[in-house]
Every structure is written in C-alpha cells, then in structure tokens.
Structure 1
C-alpha cells in the first residue's frame, strides 16, 4: 500500500466570527492579539491536563469526577471570558473530533481526546494527524486485507444477529452462517452492541454502560471541480471558521488526479438544521459556506456528494462513540472487560489513537495478544 502527502502548499483561510476573511500560514489562526493569547493559554492548560491525566486510565485521576461532571463548553468558559478564544478551541474537539456540541460531553472526555493524540497541540498540528493519505482511499486498506485473508475467511453481507455463549466459547449466527469459536471479538462501535441478541443476556453493567455512549452527527461533503482552482490562487484549500456552517475545509484531491476535490464537514446542531432542508437547498447552503473560504468558483462543482453516517445502518453516527456527562469516569474502568469469551475492540474505546485508525489497530493488537496469552 502506498501513501502520499496531503496537499498543504499555499496559504490557509480563517473566517472570523464577523465573517472577515484572513489568510495565514502555520497552525494558529490569525485572530486578534488578545484572542490569540487566550487560545495559547487555554491550549497550554489542556496540554498540561492531557500530560497529567493521560489517555490510558483517565478515570483514575483525582480530578476525573470533577472534569467528567462539567461540560466542555462550561469548562472552557471557566478558563476564559474571551468567547472567540473558547469557540476556536472548541472547534477542534467539538465540531472537528467528537461532532457533538461542546455542552453535550464532559471536559474529561475532551482531555481524553487531547491525550489520545499526545497533547492538545497535536490535534491542531496538520503535520501530525492529517499529514498523509492512502493511495486509493482508506477503503483500499480494508479491501486489501480482505483479499489477502480470502473469501473463506471474510464473509460479506452476513451481519451477526445472535450469540450464544458460555465461559468455554460461543456460537455466532448470521442470517446464513453459524460459527462456533473459543473466542469472539466484537469489533464494532458500542452503539451497535445491542443490535446483537445474546443468550444468556449481557450482564447488567454492560447494558447500562452501552446506553451511556452515543455517536455524534456529521455531514461529510466532497465537492469535485475540473481543476484545483484554489492552488492556482496560492491557497492550500485549508480553512477554519468557528461560526461558519462548514467549520473546516481541506484539499482532498485524489492521488494523481487532475481534478480538484474539497472535503468539508457540517456537524452537530448545524447538521440538524441542514437535514431540515430539501436536498437542493442543503447543497446550496453548504456550497455557499465553502465559497466564503475559497471564492465563487466553489459554488459550481462537477460532482457533489454527501456522506450521512447517521443514516447508515452499521455506523448510525460519526466519528466514534463517547460517553455522556459523567459516563467516562463511571464506566471507563470496565469498557475493556471481557464478557465470557467475548472481547471488545474498536477505536471508540482506544486510549492512544482514540477514534482514529491508529486506535483501531492498537485495539486489535491488544485483544489478539490477550487471546494468545490465555
């Protein structure tokens, strides 16, 4: 498999709350001096908390309950009365990562998000998380793995419906298959655990824990143009605006493609608003928002495609599950515990690499090692 560097040559675009458009380079948006100072100060506080609490067992920290019972929105405003700074910090974790309003998850969950990448600084560093892409897209990774494993191992269109289990093993049933095994790995997000029926039922703790997790909401938009016109204008295609409908936009042009592709996202309550519109009105509003970053040429793509993860049966949201207020310190200690022969492995319950491919790989390796050591 090959990878290539994400395009980042040229200047980025920042849209201030009043709509003012500014060009900049580097990681930090060109906000007013007082806003910039507050952003850097709050970022340092988050970096310190991430280092102190860590990603592995955040619920064991003495501040865990305190941070888990206050929303990230309110915690930010306890740190600063500079609203623009709070919103700019919030965009990276609320809109950009957890795809929920900042009032819907805890400060501890936000610290975990930061710690999973190292410090918070890495979340805003486009050379750390968004540095490389896979030729052929991420789906080519799954397809390559499936091809190497073979059709006798990977069974498509066979969602698991029923698991009968005891301490010695389990029988797993789909509509067309029945498999008996000593070990079972549930490699789906926690919001889908309940789509399977279990005999005997999952323990009470599991039932409660899974009800306290949910995914966020995002509309992912790809807009394809005859050429990457923004590059010709000296722009990278990257843009941020905490008050914009599309809070972020990136150059997502495919490898060796002469056309240009932009990817953008509409999240949480803004996505709610968009889904109340007709398809054409929603498209017009989203393209208008992208044009605020890159000009009127963005209004006329040759291809426009929306990914609605919440309507897909086997995701029902994006990008990963997280606990509601108070849930992380209450249930986090038990989220990796096996139930009989069943183990859980997904990026939603990862420490390092939480809700990213890296976290999924780490969880797969962790559970495989546990099984081999039995």
Structure 2
C-alpha cells in the first residue's frame, strides 16, 4: 500500500451528514476528503429516473417551515418542490376490509405514563392501556413506516423520545405545511447530495472506498481502505451504528459505542413504485393514501409530478410482512402489489395497466443492510443512549439518527453534520493554537 495521503479531516460516508460536514470544514479553510463505499453520493437519498419522471427509493418528503437547513438548500440550489396531493378520500384497512374515510387526525397518544417505559417494548407498553387489536395493528403501521420494524422490536422510551425529538407523532405522519410529508422534490432528494458535492473542492469525494480500519493515537489518526490510507488529525464517521461493526477500531470502541453497534437494529424497508399513464384514482375521488395492516404494503401514497406528466403510487412494504414478501419471485411481488391496489382503490385499477413498476429493497443493499434509522431495544437507551453522539478520541459521530432534533430525517442529517464539523474545527483550532501556529493552513494532497 502506498504511503498515506494527508488531510486535516477524513469524513467517512457521503450521505447528507457527511457531505454537509465536509462542506463546513472546507469553508473553514481546512482540507478534507470524503470516503464513500458506494459508487454515488447521497446515502439513502436515492433518486432514480423512471420513464416519466424521478422517483424516490429513500426519503422523499420535506417541509419548508421547521426544516430550516433543508429550506436553505432548496433556495441555494434552486430546487423545485411539489405539494403532496391530499384531495379526496383516503382508504383504511378495518379488520381486513378496506373502507373509504374522510381525512382526519388519527394520531393521538396517551400522556402521564407513570411507568419505566424503557423496560418495555412499545407493544408491551401499549398493551398496558388495554387497546383494541385494531389499535395494535395501526401501531405497527406507524413503526413499519418510520423504521421498517414491528412495535415489539423497539423500546417504548425510544419511540416516545423519537416522536418528541420530531415535534410529535402527528407531525411525523402529517402532510400539512409543518409535517414531515408536506413537499416532495421534482429533481429528486439526491439533488441535495449532488449539490453539496459540487460545492466541495475538486476530488474531495472518493467513491468505491469502503473503510476497513481506523487507527488513532495521541498524534493523529489513520483511516484505511482496501487500496490506500489517509493520515489526518480528525475523523468524522457518518454511518449508522449497526454498521460500525464493519470497521476495525484501534484502540477498540468504548463500551457504550460498542453496545450501540451490537444491539441497535435496522429494519426491513422496501418501496414499489407503480407508474401509470393517468392518475385514475384522483378521478375516482381518492387521494391515493392507503393504510393497511394486511399488506403487503402497509401504506400507499400518491407521488405524481404533473409538471413532468408523471403519475405514480408509491407502496411501502416494510416490517415482517415485507420480509415474507421479499422472498417471493419478482412477478409474484408485483402481482401482490397490483392486487392490493385494486382491492384498496377499486376496480378502476383493472383497466389501467402500469407503464412501469420499479422496486428497491434496502435490506439487500450491501452498504446499508436495511433502511431508515437504527432502533434501540428495551434497556439500551437508558444505559448507553448518551454515548450515541459522544466523540471517541479523534473520531466524531454524525448522522440522522444522532441528531439532537429532527431525528431520522434529512433535516436531522444536515444539522448533525454541522454539529460534528463545528466540533472538529474547534478541536483543530485548539491544536494549532497549542503548537503556536498563527493560522489554519490548507495542505495540498500528496
């Protein structure tokens, strides 16, 4: 292996957190390289061109009111937004039967809990409230939608913390102007990543470079990939905690970090996007919004873009039903989705042949191994939750699931990236001042 290249900072991961951190670091006059395992930037912000317009396999929705970092990028990069279509009735699964209902607030949670909720799974906690089976079914709809997991697989405390961190469950599931599902991006959300990458100095992002080891000492750190090594003063690690196990740390991670890497869990998350010539459900007075406990899709949403004459339904196939569905043949998977569209939205679907069906299963993505944020099981948050964003020597940890607000979203990813960059810049300034240097000097790559 060639001699290590030198950078002030090495960022691992070219998702939104890592790229935003690199941008902040370079604006401070420091050299920085971003190492990315995949062959493209964006992480889970994955936009793909269909026959008629862009579709999203990762995060797809934003708002411009409380997501101020996202709003700033929308303005800077001249990004066009699309309002989520809400007109017409939605369709809900009531005990195995689909019914049209008027849109209303379905998301209410009890307060004043009075028990140690980190000792219980979310399902166990909700059962203490004597819920109906329908309530439990719709609880799993929420958890599948956010994490691709069942309510029985996460701590109740983690669930409520996540909701509070994002302004409540109502905001998480809302299509209103302050909600998480208000607007979509015409160019695709990956435009945030490509836009930030274009702001970085030339050759700052190195693709197809999975990191295998991080060594650190009192003097520096060395980040090693399969083909080269990078010497640096600070490291920013922008990947989900369960994936820390793919990297050898020397010295090893402290107990809290190691337990987070070992015990947090990534869910099963898949999307099937069905593209049509016309939005026939709108003509039938339907919004395209479906919620179902039967599956295979727990939810559907209208994801049309009339500017590009793109008409589609996005079907979310997550959690345990999604695991069973993913094991079937491609033809069977598509047939089950089309059958569910007909069952939920009506016989109109029979006369409307799709012009394209696109699918992505994140659980089969080599460098993601699941999607959305990692979930904590009972007991982990109380014992080691504080270690989530704690630095380890010269290594700083960022990501959407580490964000202090807007956890699990693109907004949270950007905010976490900025926070990590600020810590790195301050540490470097302190080191330089302690050596008596007058200013931060940029260092050319070897």
TM-score by length of 1: 0.86
Residue equivalent to 1:253: 304
Residue equivalent to 2:110: 45
Residue equivalent to 1:14: 92
How far apart, in 1, do the equivalents of 2:131 and 2:250 lie? Answer: 53
- 1:130 is displaced (CA, Å) by 0.4
- 1:144 is displaced (CA, Å) by 1.4
Picking from 213, 230, 235, the partner of 2:264 is: 213
How far apart, in 1, do the equivalents of 2:228 and 2:276 lie? Answer: 44
Contact 2:270 2:361 survives alignment (8 Å): yes
Residue equivalent to 1:78: 128
Contact 1:5 1:131 survives alignment (8 Å): yes
Residue equivalent to 1:234: 285
Contact 1:69 1:326 survives alignment (8 Å): yes
How far apart, in 2, do the equivalents of 1:20 and 1:7 lie? Answer: 20
Contact 2:154 2:378 survives alignment (8 Å): yes
1:87 maps onto 2:112 in alignment: no
Contact 1:224 1:259 survives alignment (8 Å): yes
What SS does the aligned partner of 1:45 have?
coil
Residue equivalent to 1:332: 385
How far apart, in 2, do the equivalents of 1:255 and 1:202 lie? Answer: 50
Residue equivalent to 1:198: 249
Residue equivalent to 2:118: 68
Do the aligned partners of residues 284 and 84 (structure 1) sit closer, same or farther apart at CA in structure 2, a change above 3 Å counting? same
Residue equivalent to 2:200: 149
What SS does the aligned partner of 1:288 have?
helix
Q: Which moved more, 1:220-229 or 1:74-83?
A: 74-83
Do the aligned partners of residues 80 and 144 (structure 1) sit closer, same or farther apart at CA in structure 2, a change above 3 Å counting? same
Question: Deviations for 1:83-130, whole angstroms, at most 9, x for unmatched residues?
Answer: 2123224422x1211211111111112102211221222223221110
Contact 1:159 1:175 survives alignment (8 Å): yes
Contact 1:229 1:260 survives alignment (8 Å): no
Residue equivalent to 2:83: 5
1:290 maps onto 2:341 in alignment: yes
Contact 2:88 2:285 survives alignment (8 Å): yes
Contact 2:147 2:269 survives alignment (8 Å): no
Do the aligned partners of residues 163 and 288 (structure 1) sit closer, same or farther apart at CA in structure 2, a change above 3 Å counting? same
What SS does the aligned partner of 1:103 have?
helix
What SS does the aligned partner of 2:110 have?
helix
Picking from 150, 156, 173, the partner of 1:124 is: 173
Do the aligned partners of residues 167 and 292 (structure 1) sit closer, same or farther apart at CA in structure 2, a change above 3 Å counting? farther
Residue equivalent to 1:24: 102
Do the aligned partners of residues 18 and 209 (structure 1) sit closer, same or farther apart at CA in structure 2, a change above 3 Å counting? closer
1:167 maps onto 2:218 in alignment: yes
Q: Which moved more, 1:291-300 or 1:109-118?
A: 291-300
What SS does the aligned partner of 1:68 have?
helix
- 1:137 is displaced (CA, Å) by 0.8
- 1:179 is displaced (CA, Å) by 2.0
Once superposed, what is the RMSD of the aligned Cα atoms? 2.0
Do the aligned partners of residues 177 and 302 (structure 1) sit closer, same or farther apart at CA in structure 2, a change above 3 Å counting? same
Structure 2 gap ranges (5+): 1-78, 428-446
Contact 1:220 1:308 survives alignment (8 Å): yes
How far apart, in 2, do the equivalents of 1:157 and 1:255 lie? Answer: 36
Residue equivalent to 1:371: 424
How far apart, in 1, do the equivalents of 2:201 and 2:344 lie? Answer: 45
Do the aligned partners of residues 133 and 168 (structure 1) sit closer, same or farther apart at CA in structure 2, a change above 3 Å counting? farther
Question: Deviations for 1:42-96, whole angstroms, at most 9, x for unmatched residues?
Answer: x2415x67xxxxxxxxxxxx95xx211211112111113322123224422x121
Structure 1 gap ranges (5+): 29-39, 50-61
- 1:152 is displaced (CA, Å) by 1.6
Residue equivalent to 2:64: none
How far apart, in 1, do the equivalents of 2:98 and 2:283 lie? Answer: 22
Do the aligned partners of residues 167 and 353 (structure 1) sit closer, same or farther apart at CA in structure 2, a change above 3 Å counting? farther
Contact 2:295 2:321 survives alignment (8 Å): no
Residue equivalent to 2:184: 133
Residue equivalent to 2:355: 302
What SS does the aligned partner of 1:164 have?
strand
